[in-house]
């Protein structure tokens, strides 16, 4: 009786033979699985599970469910979370990457209208495979070396989301192993509650093992522009104008709309786009105004439409209120454009700046309050404090491209903005100052009633998650009870554990 109510914690040494041989206790493997891109949170798992089939994942989850004191299971894609969302201290990290060893050529299979991919695959490889057939997924992240399962567990956004929605809006079907160990094929019409649950579901309801992603014919080239503003309301008015084109079913609009905030803060940021020749005048504009807004626009085209693209582009930017002498343009292949962040990542890697703490924060801000946000956060907090920010992203999206039946949450307005604060810290003092500033921003929004939603959130208490989900909380709880009643999956999100 007593031993049932207080069962001993599980040890990997107790696992049945067929699972034990795939549970690694190697110190180096455990150490790699004990942190993430953020380098802020550290938790050592009891073991790392190396599945070579979906059946292995089913067996592991069923085994844990069968124990009097089940262990937690944390699927890990590329480990690119920033605050330990993929970690566990009382369970097993599920190394999704090992699955690809067993795929035998079925890792990425391209059809006319969709691609079937293993959830452990990287988006860069999905792009490479589909382009061979002249096809492409529609919605992207800026960084392409993320796993399909990892981004679909969040949302997957960049400057294409205004038009095609986040990556979760472009999924046709999923294979999921639930927290009970059932392998379920699900879609909008079949087992839809699980389908909507896992999309944006932060790994809470099941392990995504396979995804079917919608494809369209791929363009071959991209006109990539940056237009600079010193006036926030002109900048946002123009961004919103550009994202409204497709709402009116007008295909002559932009295909990619994003934006950056350039400010006089250490270290120098987001300047790799610009040539050596242009940099001095941009720097002096930033020095003069303190803050400069950069609108990023991408217009896709192919060889057939080459003759029209210049004219379409000219029409598109006619009437925009950027500073006329601060328009910068590049022309590159579609593949280079989608992989454009890699140049910056390689640079950071070469300087050893990828292995330092990254207290990033991503927010969704309701459109109606962006002026208050600009004054209260961008100018009064970020600009006035000397806390390092490597890059600040700021761009709008259309809510109607998101599906509210999915688990992701967004502000309750037709248009909302994404803010990304990307930081790297060299010492404890910088890390503390950055985390304090992140907290101050959230507190400012709370105090002034700006109903922001944190993207890629890292709350520490369930109460904060209840607030985050708002009216969706009951649904999230019901989904957890149905698909992972023993609360095994993705404990690092700290929603139910
Ligand atoms: C350099 C960089 C650039 C980024 N750029 C963007 C961007 O442009 N747009 C954007 O939207 N995001 C971006 N992100 C954030 C990124 O989408 C998330 O961190 C995402 O989780 C990364 O995928 P991953 O494979 O590393 O996931 P992991 O960190 O390994 O996992 C994230 C969460 O999902 C769970 N999980 C992982 N795989 C599965 C699965 N198969 N089934 C169920 N649950 C699973 C994990 O348990 C964990 O809770 C960026 C991150 C970095 C570090």
Sorted by sequence, the CB contacts under 8 Å of residue 10 that are 6+ apart come out as 46, 64, 67, 69, 70, 71
The answer to whether 214 and 114 have CB atoms below 8 angstroms apart is yes
Kindly give the distance from the C-alpha atom of residue 163 to the centroid of ligand 1, in angstroms, as a whole number.
22
- Residue whose CA lies nearest to ligand 1 atom number 34: 150
Quote the ligand 1 centre to 78 CA distance (angstroms).
Answer: 7
Kindly state if the Cβ of 160 falls inside 6 Å of ligand 1: no
Place of tokens 């922001």: 452
* Nearest-angstrom CA–CA distance, 394 and 421: 9
CA-closest candidate to residue 108, choices 96, 93, 124, 121: 121
Q: Which residues of 307-325 are buried (b: 16+ CB within 10 A; e: fewer)?
A: eebeebbeebbeebebeee
Is the distance from the beta carbon of residue 374 to the nearest atom of ligand 1 less than 6 Å?
no
Give the CATH fold of the 2-96+482-493 domain: 3.30.43
Looking at residue 249, what is its pLDDT?
A: 59
For the chain, the domains span 2-96+482-493, 101-217, 221-455
Alpha helices in 159-305 (DSSP H): 161-164, 192-198, 232-244, 279-289
**157 CB less than 6 Å from ligand 1?**
yes
Strand partners, 298: 224, 256
What kind and span of H or E run contains 417?
A: strand 415-422
d(CA 207, CA 178): 6
**Predicted pLDDT at 102:** 78
Nearest one of 341, 381, 340 to 361, comparing CA atoms: 381
* SS3 track for 214-235: ECEECCCEEEEEEEEECCHHHH
Ramachandran assignment for 204, one of left (phi > 0), alpha (psi -120 to 50 degrees), beta (any other): alpha
> What confidence score (pLDDT) does residue 322 get?
98
CATH of 101-217, one of 3.30.465.10, 1.10.530.10, 3.40.50.300, 3.10.180.10: 3.30.465.10
The phi, psi pair for 10, rounded to 5°, reads -75, 145
What does pLDDT average to in each consecutive run of 10 residues of the chain (497 residues)? 60 96 97 97 98 96 97 98 97 95 86 98 97 98 98 98 97 98 98 98 98 97 97 98 78 92 68 82 92 96 86 94 97 96 86 90 98 96 89 96 98 98 93 97 98 97 97 98 98 96
Cβ–ligand 1 contact at 424 (below 6 Å): no
37: Cβ below 6 Å to ligand 1? yes
What distance in Å separates the CA atoms of residue 47 and residue 91, rounded to the nearest whole number? 7
Q: Is 95 in the pocket of ligand 1 (CB under 6 A)?
A: no
- Residue 358 alpha carbon, nearest atom of ligand 1: 53
* Substitution site in 146, 360, 419 for ligand 1 pocket (most atoms within 8 Å of beta carbon): 146
Q: What is the pLDDT of residue 304?
A: 79
Q: Is 207 in the pocket of ligand 1 (CB under 6 A)?
A: yes
* C-alpha–C-alpha distance, residues 200 and 152, integer Å: 6
Work out the angle at residue 438's Cα, subtended by the Cα atoms of residues 447 and 411, and round it to the nearest 5 degrees.
Answer: 60
Structural tokens at position 472: 């969706």
Spatial distance between the Cα atoms of 254 and 396, rounded to a whole number of angstroms: 13
Residue nearest to atom 53 of ligand 1 (CA): 80
Q: What is the DSSP letter of 421?
A: E
Report the atom number in ligand 1 closest to the C-alpha of 120: 41
Distance CA 356, CA 305 (A): 45
**Amino acid 274: pLDDT:** 85
Task: Return the pLDDT at 269.
Answer: 52
Instruction: Tell me how far the alpha carbon of residue 339 lies from the centroid of ligand 1, in angstroms.
Output: 17
* Three-point CA angle 368, 369, 371, nearest 5°: 110
Question: What's the gap in Å between 291 CA and the centre of ligand 1?
Answer: 30
Task: For ligand 1, atom 28, name the residue with the nearest CA.
Answer: 79
Are 156 and 168 spatial neighbours (Cβ–Cβ below 8 Å)? Answer: yes
Cis peptide leading into 193, omega within 30 of 0?
A: no
Q: Is 272 helix (H, G, I), strand (E, B) or coil?
A: coil
CATH placement of domain 221-455: 3.40.462.10
């Amino acid at each position: 009786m007593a031993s049932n109510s207080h069962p001993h914690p599980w040890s990997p040494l107790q696992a049945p033979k067929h699972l034990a041989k795939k549970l690694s206790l190697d110190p180096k493997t455990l150490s790699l699985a004990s942190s993430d891109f953020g380098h802020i949170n550290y938790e050592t798992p009891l073991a790392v599970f190396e599945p070579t089939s979906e059946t292995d994942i089913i067996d592991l989850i069923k085994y844990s469910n069968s124990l009097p004191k089940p262990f937690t299971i944390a699927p890990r894609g590329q480990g690119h979370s920033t605050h330990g969302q993929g970690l566990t201290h009382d369970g097993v990290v599920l190394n999704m990457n090992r699955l690809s060893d067993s795929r035998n050529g079925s890792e990425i299979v391209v059809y006319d209208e969709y691609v079937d991919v293993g959830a452990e695959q990287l988006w860069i490889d999905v792009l490479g495979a589909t382009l061979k057939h002249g096809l492409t997924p529609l919605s992207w992240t800026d960084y392409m070396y993320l796993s399909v399962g990892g981004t679909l567990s969040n949302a997957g956004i960049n400057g294409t989301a205004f038009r095609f929605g986040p990556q979760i809006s472009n999924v046709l079907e999923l294979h999921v192993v639930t927290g009970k160990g059932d392998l379920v094929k699900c879609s909008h019409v079949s087992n839809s509650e699980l389908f909507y649950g896992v999309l944006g579901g932060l790994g809470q309801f099941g392990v995504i093992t396979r995804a079917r992603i919608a494809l369209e014919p791929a363009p071959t080239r991209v006109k990539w522009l940056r237009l600079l503003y010193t006036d926030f309301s002109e900048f946002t008015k123009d961004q919103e104008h550009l994202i409204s084109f497709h709402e009116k079913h007008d295909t002559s609009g932009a295909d990619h709309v994003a934006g950056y905030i350039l400010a006089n803060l250490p270290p120098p940021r987001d300047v790799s786009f610009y040539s050596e020749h242009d940099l001095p005048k941009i720097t002096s504009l930033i020095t003069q105004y303190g803050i400069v807004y950069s609108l990023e626009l991408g217009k896709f085209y192919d060889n057939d439409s080459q003759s029209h693209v210049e004219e379409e582009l000219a029409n598109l930017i006619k009437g925009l209120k950027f500073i006329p002498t601060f328009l910068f343009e590049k022309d590159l292949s579609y593949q280079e454009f989608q992989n454009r962040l890699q140049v910056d990542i390689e640079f950071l890697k070469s300087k050893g700046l990828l292995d330092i703490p990254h207290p990033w924060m991503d927010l969704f801000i309701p459109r109606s309050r962006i002026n208050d946000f600009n004054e209260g956060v961008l100018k009064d907090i970020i600009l006035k404090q000397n806390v390092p920010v490597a890059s600040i992203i700021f761009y709008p999206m259309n809510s109607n491209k998101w599906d509210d039946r999915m688990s992701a949450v967004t502000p309750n307005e037709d248009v909302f903005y994404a803010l990304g604060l990307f930081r790297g810290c060299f010492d404890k003092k910088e890390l503390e100052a950055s985390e304090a500033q992140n907290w101050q921003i959230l507190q400012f929004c709370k105090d002034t009633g700006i109903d922001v939603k944190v993207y890629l959130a890292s709350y520490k208490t369930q109460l904060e998650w209840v607030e985050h989900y708002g009216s969706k909380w009951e649904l999230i709880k019901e989904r957890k009870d149905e698909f992972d009643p023993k609360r095994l999956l993705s404990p690092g999100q700290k929603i139910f554990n």
